[in-house]
Amino acid sequence: MTSVPRCVVQSGSSVSMNEIPLARVWQLPDGTQCLLFKNVASDQWELRVVRGDETLRSEQFANPIAAMDEGKSWRAAFTLSV
């Protein structure tokens, strides 16, 4: 049985003033980008797809390599919507 990754859709600002993305996994011509953040408080990595001020998808990971691999698979879904 394959587990389906949880998807959190949020509105509002995609990146707060005290957050700095550590890596950009990909970026599309319409400005949609997949960013990797480190959550110091929980020792987790957050992968976030943003377009402008809107967060389109977000998921937490224990490992940054797993997060970036998952982010690469997300690109196809957002490429279709461009």
* pLDDT of 15: 56
**Tokens 């976030």, located at residue:** 48
75 backbone dihedrals φ, ψ, rounded to 5°: -55, -40
Per-residue pLDDT 10s for the chain (82 aa) are 333 334 444 444 455 556 789 999 999 999 999 999 998 788 899 999 999 999 999 999 999 999 999 999 999 999 876 5
Residue pair 35/50 in contact (Cβ under 8 Å)? The answer is yes
- Residue 80 DSSP SS3: helix
Domain boundaries, the chain: 23-80
8-state DSSP, 42: T
Half-sphere exposure (CA, 13 Å, Cβ side) for 1? 2
Half-sphere exposure (CA, 13 Å, Cβ side) for 81? 9
